[in-house]
Structure 1
Amino acid sequence: MDTDWLTLLCAAALAFSVMNYVVLDGTDLGVGMLMGLTSCSQQRRTMAVTILPVWDANETWLVLGGGGLLALFPLAYAILLPALYVPFIVMFLALIARAMALEFRDYAPNGQGKRMVDGVLSVASLVSGLVQGMVLGTLVQGVAHQGGQYHGDGRDWLNPFPVSCGFVLVLGYVWLGTCWLYWRTRDELQQHSAREARVLSLVVVALLLVLIAWTATLQPQYARRLADIRLWLPAGLILGALGWVFSKGFHSRFDFIPLFAALGIFVLAFAVMLVALFPFIIPPDLTLSEAASSPTSQIFMLVGFAVLIPITLAYNTFGFRVFSGKVRVASDG
């Protein structure tokens, strides 16, 4: 608990970047997965148009998170990267495939050609979400290290807990995707998305609670933190309030409310995870202070974050503002 304010500020900047990536690009990935489950070409085209203007800006947060980890906590980066070489490579290849499918689907032949491109988009989105959850689960599970170096066989991410985290995150992303489509579309697609969102909300929240209970069994610190009434009581009240808002949002004239409530639940789960982990950046014993770079490097990077984060937020906001409103397009075959 001797973490200084500068290191805490660096950790907060890094956590903010990762959280923004998860909630923003996670929504896009969810829409991409849903495209593979939709047979109607007009609906698939509508789904693609809703995310096409904004998906690339959302991935900026991933760059900030990865670069920030290297510069602010180099020891943690040196341990995590060898432990997760394979999933990181798979994730980046999947994100590239997703980007190519999105940007070039308009040039694919109508009919079977576009169906194949949308299939690539759906599979790439699924793989990206699954791997991201497995990476997160590996971190929470703990990474074996000794002398500042990874000390394992490179297969930690294939253990049951990380795989379960990947599965739950995929379902969570699909849930966000359905809420996004409820906001941005109309008619049959909107109503279908509302039905899916209601069902997925129950499934995702239930699985999140199971994961939290499972997490408490991984490390003694997790059990103490998660059993603390100062954590679970306010978290439970917030979860109940967000669930109520989510349910009532479908009866409101503001179609964005279910999505915002779902995003709030994601942020709440992320916050609970951070509380359970603190002050460790890599469980079971590498703290933020031990992994941090020099104060000079931290200050230099924080100045960069102070410039880049507002610009990125402004760009995201501007993009959502310009391309706001309901989307309806003709079938593209």
Structure 2
Amino acid sequence: MLDANTLAFIWAVLIATAVFIYVCLDGFDLGIGILFPVLPHKEDRDVAVNSVAPVWDGNETWLVLGGVGLFPVFPLAYATILPALYMPLLLMLLALVFRGVSFEMRFRAANEVQQLWWDRAFSWGSYVAAFTQGIALGAFVQGIEVRDRAYAGGWWDWLTPFSVLTGLALVTGYGVLGACWLVWKTEGPLHDRARSQARSMGIALLLFILAVSLCMPFLQPAFRERWLSFPNMLFAAPVPILVLVLAWGFFRALERADQHGLWADAKPFVLVLGLFLVSYAGLGVSMWPWIVPPSISIWDAAAPPSTQLFLLAGTAVLLPIILGYTAYVYWLFRGKVRADAGYH
């Protein structure tokens, strides 16, 4: 029988994993919208949208699992985080709805002028959704004021220079994911344009990672203890080293991604996912075991063990189905996309 602490740990890993999968999967199709302003030709935008059309709505399944799973499993965290982040989360959800409507309506536009406006709506929704996700992340990481097990901060506490920085960083990161997806899934001039965008936005992403990393130790005393004290810095050192290795591999792979096959074109996408994973791990190193930094741990916020165990049994059934369906869809639409013939 699993004890309460083990169950809380398992659920923390599951929710963190679901959030990361969402960032990876929905990140690249949000990135497609972020890249729309640099895709001036209608044909290129059509190909870009068609490259994510089979998978984009399924990608958001993981947001539901990560966000809704917080409510029954860590109710205290849910009741504290939600009031602190009402505004950015509400704007994010509205932007995702707006973006979803425009995604479908662009295919039903009566003429090119209408489609252009739906394209703009799709892009605006992508920017707002990505930026507010980044703001919510920054506000969460910098700490939430808690008193008597309830949110005690103000309405605008989520809006700080650091949260704006993380918002811009996530927009850039999603843009890199979207560009690398197009490198992988397209051919010809669109492939070349995406490769150029991935290179320039990749440099900007590394600068944002550096800026966020330099700010982190000054947000909480616990963060400084994890990263700047001995011997903790020895255990944390693999994170920046891996970032440098993956960045070197990413730019090298971009140089070689010249339509020489699916694997060569897929490598930049895989490596930028590695950058996201290492950055995410860095956040985990900083914040563990706080689910509401700096005052509520995963064990403080956990629901009764019977509730966690009941939900875990259901998740054990549903999670393999979701993973299998997701893998099958990506395998089914694994080729490149052409303007005249769809996938091949």
TM-score (norm 2): 0.92
Structure 1 partner of 2:36: 35
Equivalent residues of 2:169, 2:208 under 8 A apart:
yes
Distance in structure 2 (CA, Å) of the matches to 1:207 and 1:287: 28
State which drifts further: 162-171 or 243-252: 243-252
Identity %: 38
Equivalent residues of 1:36, 1:118 under 8 A apart:
no
- How far did 1:330 drift? 4.7
Matches within 5 A, 1:40-79: 40-79=41-80
Match of 2:234 among 230, 245, 249: 230
Match of 2:246 among 242, 251, 255: 242
Distance in structure 1 (CA, Å) of the matches to 2:159 and 2:303: 30
Structure 2 partner of 1:270: 280
Amino acid at match of 1:10: W
1:215-270 CA distance string (max 9 Å, x none)? 11010110111233334421133223322321232315421100000011001101
Report the count of equivalent residues: 330
Amino acid at match of 1:176: L
1:23-71 CA distance string (max 9 Å, x none)? 1101110001112332100000001101111011100000001111101
- How far did 1:299 drift? 1.0
TM-aligned CA distance change 1:142 to 1:5, over 3 Å: same
Amino acid at match of 2:213: I
Structure 1 partner of 2:145: 144
Match of 2:339 among 310, 329, 332: 329
Distance in structure 2 (CA, Å) of the matches to 1:236 and 1:90: 33
1:201-227 CA distance string (max 9 Å, x none)? 121012112101101101011011123
- How far did 1:195 drift? 1.1
Structure 2 partner of 1:105: 106
Q: Does 1:302 align with 2:312?
A: yes
- How far did 1:308 drift? 2.4
Distance in structure 1 (CA, Å) of the matches to 2:38 and 2:316: 41
- How far did 1:313 drift? 1.6
Structure 1 partner of 2:271: 261
Q: Does 1:169 align with 2:170?
A: yes
Structure 2 partner of 1:191: 192
Amino acid at match of 1:236: P
Distance in structure 1 (CA, Å) of the matches to 2:206 and 2:319: 30
Structure 2 partner of 1:12: 13
Equivalent residues of 2:79, 2:150 under 8 A apart:
yes
Structure 2 partner of 1:182: 183
Distance in structure 1 (CA, Å) of the matches to 2:192 and 2:104: 27
Amino acid at match of 1:96: V
1:122-164 CA distance string (max 9 Å, x none)? 0000000000001111110111111121112221111111111
Give SS of 2:291's match: strand
Amino acid at match of 1:235: V
Distance in structure 1 (CA, Å) of the matches to 2:160 and 2:198: 29
Equivalent residues of 2:289, 2:298 under 8 A apart:
yes
Distance in structure 2 (CA, Å) of the matches to 1:161 and 1:247: 28
Higher relative contact order (CA 8 A, sep 6+): 1
Equivalent residues of 2:146, 2:153 under 8 A apart:
yes
Structure 2 partner of 1:130: 131
Distance in structure 2 (CA, Å) of the matches to 1:309 and 1:16: 12
Give SS of 2:181's match: helix
1:266-286 CA distance string (max 9 Å, x none)? 011011101100111111111
Equivalent residues of 1:157, 1:163 under 8 A apart:
no
TM-aligned CA distance change 1:231 to 1:97, over 3 Å: farther
Distance in structure 2 (CA, Å) of the matches to 1:149 and 1:80: 9
Amino acid at match of 2:38: L
Give SS of 1:39's match: coil
Distance in structure 1 (CA, Å) of the matches to 2:312 and 2:73: 9
